[in-house]
Homo-oligomer: A and B are copies of this chain.
């Protein structure tokens, strides 16, 4: 096994494009763009909780960064820099090679410089910190939703949860749905372009990591409002309904925007070639409360909203 420092040199040090000093000192040095605010976020991925122990290392590398990129998308920030801290069991070099290949593929896809990190021995744990930039005062927050705003969601949430259920033997998917759902699970595509386009348009935004209803709930609580949702849920399968409403790990965006700007949001769907579905409206009333019905107005009971790591 090479030393910690040989591993860093071989797999974690790559040329940077917009960084003063990258991997290799006590800290990295970046020069924020004048007039921009910095948005920062960190996410920790643990084997067994966030990924299956037998996941492909390259997929895991992609996803470890992608879930952080998604936080930038949800804030309307342009992702710029990332740090990677990794605890690894007696790691084989081939695992590290594949993992970093996926990680840097995601970094390249989103224009991110990987500027530092930490490697240590321990139960597998990946902690990524990401930095993005946003013009002062324009970040998308959870707290801006107002009564009568429309509620939108991008893409098709629930696919990652279905893919996971298939892998765990709790569901049986057929092609082409299987490949689609596994791609959503293993190679999430954070909605950065959407997040940037929503600056000055959306009143609030969040990404769907814990489940559609759970994450919408965070917007509602932060904004002190409720919601009336009309969602077309698959009638034939309680399981698909659960995945749609409470499945995590999709990294789509849920956001709110004034009803008067419905056309602008709808136009983004074709510009970005991304489904954007209006699923309801913000209501005055109890903060966090959600009334859910199908498109015909029949109430749907909510069993649970999503994932809670300590619940």
Binding site for B on A (CB under 8 A): 1-5, 7, 20-21, 24-32, 34, 37-44, 46-50, 71-72, 74-75, 77, 81, 83-87, 91, 115-123, 125, 127, 129-132, 134, 136, 139, 141-143, 205-207, 222, 308-311
Q: Report how far A37 CA is from B311 CA in the complex, Å.
A: 41
A142 to B29, CA, bound (A): 13
Q: Do B46 and A28 touch (CB < 8 A)?
A: no
Contacts of A131 in B (CB 8 A): 40
The contact of A87 among B46, B75, B207, by CB within 8 Å, is B46
Residue of B with least CB distance to A88 = B310
A-B contact pairs, 6 of them (CB 8 A): A4-B309, A4-B311, A24-B222, A27-B130, A46-B122, A119-B310
A205 / chain B contacts, CB cutoff of 8 Å: 26
* CB–CB B40/A5 < 8 A: no
Q: Measured between alpha carbons, how far is A122 from B122 in the docked complex, in Å? A: 12
**Shortest Cβ distance from residue A150 to the other chain B in the assembled complex, whole angstroms:** 20
Q: Which residues of B contact A32 (CB under 8 A)?
A: 32, 38
Residue of B3, B41, B123 near A46 (CB, 8 A) is B123
Given the contacts A5-B308, A50-B120, A29 and B139 also touching, CB distance less than 8 Å: yes
Which listed residue (B40, B71, B75, B117) contacts A30, Cβ 8 A?
B40
Bound complex: CA A20 to CA B71 (Å): 17
A125, closest chain B residue (CB): B125
A51 to B5, CA, bound (A): 21
Residue of B with least CB distance to A205: B26
Which residues of the other chain, B, contact A39 by a CB distance below 8 angstroms? 27-29
Q: Which residues does chain B contribute within 8 Å of A49, judged by CB atoms?
A: 87, 120-122
- Measured CB to CB, the closest approach of chain B to A211, in angstroms, equals 13
Give the residue of B26, B42, B86, B142 whose beta carbon is less than 8 angstroms from that of A25.
B142
- Indicate the member of A46, A119, A207 with the most B CB atoms within 10 Å: A46
For the complex formed, measure the closest distance between the CB of A20 and the CB atoms of chain B, giving whole angstroms: 6
Inter-chain contacts of A310 with B (CB < 8 A) = 1-4, 7, 91, 119, 121
* Known pairs A30-B40, A42-B118, A46-B87; A3 contacts B141 (CB<8 A): no
User: Chain B residue with minimal CB distance to A75?
Assistant: B27
